[in-house]
Amino acid sequence: MTDTPLPVTLRFEITQGAGDLYLATVSITALRRFLTGSVTRIEVVIPDPALREDAQKNWPLAKDAQVKLVADATAAADAGGITISGAPIVMLTRPVTLDAGFVIEGGGRRLVCDVAGTGQGDIPDGVQSLPQLLGPSGQIQPAQFPDLDAQEIADLSAEIRRLHHNGYFWDYRYRTNPELGSGVGSRGVFQSIKRELLNRNVVAPGLSVVDIGCGDLEVVRQLNFSRYIGVDEAPRALELGREKRPDWEFRQAPLDVSGGSVAEAALCFEVLIHAPSAQAAEKLIDTLARAASKRIVISGYDHPVPQSPIVYFHAPLKDMLGALEGWKAPVLIARYENLSVYVVDRDDSGLPPPVPFEPRELEPFTWDMLGALGNKLDGLTAQVSRLAATAHAAQAPAASNDGGTGQPTDATARNLNMPALRQGQPLISVIVSCYNEAAFVERLIDSLRAQTEPNFEVLFLDDGSQDETVSIITSHCRKDPRLKVSQDGRNLGPSARRNQGLDAAQGRYVYFADGDDYVEETALERLLNLLLETDAEVSRGAHLFCTPDGHSQINQMDQYHQPEVYSVSYAQMPSLVFLYSAANTLIDRHLLVRHDLRFDSSLRLGEDRLFLQQVFAVARGISLTKDITYRWIRQAEGGAHLSFSRSVEERLASVQGYLSGIAALEGAGPRHLAYSQAAMFWELYIRLIETPDLDALTPEARQTLAGIAGTLDFSEDLLGDRCIKGWAERREPRAREVYRKLRRNGGF
């Protein structure tokens, strides 16, 4: 061991983007603090000229430690001193005296410590690989410094915090742990909340967007903005954005707003909380105000919070936004965790008022995380039960009726309460009821044959078509054995035909489509992965409305009423009553067999929504995604593609059957009943009650309508809740009057 500490020269090589500068910040801070010998020279080699220029301007450590930034290595070790060179991957966790050389390697990276007069030895105690120490979070933790007292750890953390640069930190995170994104705020339940807020307050008004702090794009990449500009300090975030949405524009922060606004709306989720000073926070809000011509959507803290190396609080967000000149008072639209989300509109924006989340609306999201755990446990229990049943069957007498094949027969499957699955059978059965779809069905067939998940069958059930539908399908069946068609010339309705499809299906999962629509090529794979990854029994994608002339638009109702949720139960999410279409839904067929679920063939309108509620009510878990997986072709109502007309009698039967069905579900609670009744009232009000045809109803129809009205018993306040499917703002006052009259008089 040396008697006198040797001088140290550091030469770090930045080869993996701006994230390496974050590693260098942490490593150099620890080396300067804990090395016995003084660090006399620091050279950082940055071959990338743009990154080198950025570091020269913006890296706090460059000025603080008099770091020399170069394109190529130039420094030589002091005579008789120590040289530490290579990737910035070394960390000290306590005071260290270096008296021999060592090498740290990991992840294809290498750092060498040369000590004059010595060879290479073991890595000394207190010296560790920095990436391994940081772990997925990218931050140091007190537990990693067992030999330091609390004050020493606090001093080190404060020093790293003082020299912290957001862009470099997040670049490191996005490069090394892309699955974490920008943290929990961009994943799971919080991602779902943000998407729903943006659908209501940005997508619905059709606003162009500048997203300051766009991150890895997971929150917004499936949303349908009229124009999108992503801005971020982390170069890797911008690279990820361009990979995921090459049709969008991305810019390196800071955003240039010298020329005025760049979009109608500015988004800023969980960026303000990382502003290291009050001045930086104020500058960010000023940038948002200059960048947006109409609206700002921003999250932040309204109250002081425990601060960390990357989290700060300077002033209540509401107060900071309220100080903006030329802008209206901020409107709180949601709170989650300890964050508040506000919308601020310009005085002359001309936009409708912001649409907030009511506290009860957040329940499905906040319950999701707890429910997912319970559902996984339920799923494990069910799997164990099935294994036990299989083992029991295997120990039974030899009269297994398997024909000597060793494979389960239909009878065996019924005893196990599940469909028989044999080797070579399709994984998914796509069930399509068709009626006069000659103009459209070939497009559907092409979309199915292009699926990235190839293991499926398609069962076409013709409902007495009078055109060339069957011959078109038959011609494709000859080319692809996965396609099958059934016809008997009768017109029985879609419910009966789908039930025939369920009887004939061989797949473990069933998926419904309509003959005049078509499917995104990744639909089956996406929904199957979603179902399996979240341990659900039902998964469902989002729709895109399309017209026969090729125009398309996002299904606002679909996006509004279908949040991104993973393996929720029916009890946890009463708003599932607003999902009506069975199309674009993947269902575990075991579930249908266990509970003998079928479509009600007596209904000739709305049969989907009753069936779907029955499925939801018994499913172990339901997962929904806003990813577009289905193209819904909107034809004129009453067109030839409809098996049956939407007569008054059929609509009344549909509403009555739906309400009766939900009331009979064991899993339906008071909110399910209230929500479904309010939605059905809106349907009746808009379709029948408000129209001049009300007086022309037959006595039988009027009696049925009065009978339905007599069963309605929901709070009138729900008629003012825009979350209820069918809600219409301009109709609300009159609808309230009618509902009050119905409840008072029991009729019209």
Rounded distance between C-alpha atoms, residue 419 and residue 596, angstroms: 12
Q: What is the pLDDT of residue 139?
A: 82
Tokens of 701: 């129809």
What integer pLDDT is reported at residue 440 of this predicted model? 87
Question: Is residue 531 pLDDT above 70, yes or no?
Answer: yes
Residue 321 token pair: 């936004």
- Return the minimum-mean-pLDDT range out of 9-23, 66-80, 138-152, 618-632: 66-80
Write out pLDDT tens, residues 71-124: 987 755 455 689 999 999 999 999 999 989 999 998 889 999 999 878 888 999
Longest dimension (CA), the chain: 108
pLDDT in tens, 602-618: 877 878 889 999 999 99
Rounded (10°) CA dihedral 63, 69, 75, 80: 30
pLDDT band at 300 (very low <50, low <70, confident <90, very high): very high
Whether the pLDDT of residue 401 is over 70: the answer is no
The predicted pLDDT at position 359 comes to: 56
- In the Cβ-directed half-sphere of 653, how many Cα atoms lie within 13 Å? 13
Q: Across all residues in the chain, what is the average pLDDT?
A: 83
Q: Return the pLDDT at 303.
A: 84
- Length of the chain measured in residues: 748
Q: Which of 308, 301, 252 is nearest to 276 (CA)?
A: 308
Q: Which value, in Å, is the radius of gyration of the alpha carbons in the chain?
A: 32
What does the pLDDT read at residue 543? Answer: 83
Lowest mean pLDDT among 120-129, 278-287, 335-344: 335-344
Quick check: 475 pLDDT over 90?
yes
Per-residue pLDDT band at 746 (split at 50, 70, 90)? low
Can you give the pTM of this predicted structure?
Answer: 0.50
Tell me: pLDDT of 367 over 60: no
Sign of CA dihedral 564, 565, 566, 567: negative
pLDDT at residue 642, rounded to an integer:
34
Q: In this structure, what DSSP letter does residue 103 have?
A: E
**Helix 150-162, helix 19-34: angle, nearest 10:** 140
Residue 4: predicted pLDDT? 66
| 559 compared with 504, residue with greater pLDDT | 504
Question: What does the alpha-carbon distance between residue 129 and residue 27 come to, in Å, rounded to a whole number?
Answer: 10
Between 623 and 666, the more confident residue is 623
CA distance 292 to 264: 5
Q: Is the pLDDT of residue 548 over 90?
A: no
Distance CA 748, CA 124 (A): 88
Confidence category of residue 3, pLDDT binned at 50, 70, 90? low
Q: How far apart are CA 481 and CA 678, in angstroms?
A: 46
Q: Which band of pLDDT confidence, cut at 50, 70 and 90, is reported for residue 465?
A: very high
Q: Which residue has the higher pLDDT, 181 or 509?
A: 509
More confident residue, 131 or 305: 131
What pLDDT sits at residue 201?
A: 94
Mean per-residue pLDDT for 424-430? 88
How buried is residue 547: exposed, middle or buried, by Cβ count under 10 Å (0-12/13-18/19+)?
exposed
Residue 412's pLDDT is what?
33
SS3 76: coil
How far lies 421's CA from each of 87, 382, 416, 455, 460, in Å?
Answer: 54, 18, 12, 14, 21
Q: Which range among 13-17, 410-414, 580-584 shows the weakest confidence by mean pLDDT?
A: 410-414
743 pLDDT tier (thresholds 50, 70, 90): confident
How is residue 575 written in tokens? 């708003």
pLDDT tens across 373-393, in order?
A: 444 444 444 444 444 444 444
Burial of 672 (0-12, 13-18, 19+ CB in 10 A): buried
Going by pLDDT thresholds of 50, 70 and 90, the confidence category of residue 551 is: low
The pLDDT of residue 372: 41
Task: Give tens-digit pLDDT for 195-234.
Answer: 889 999 999 999 999 999 998 888 898 888 999 999 999 9
Tokens of 736: 């309230």
Residue 341 predicted with pLDDT over 80:
yes
Average pLDDT over residues 570-578: 87
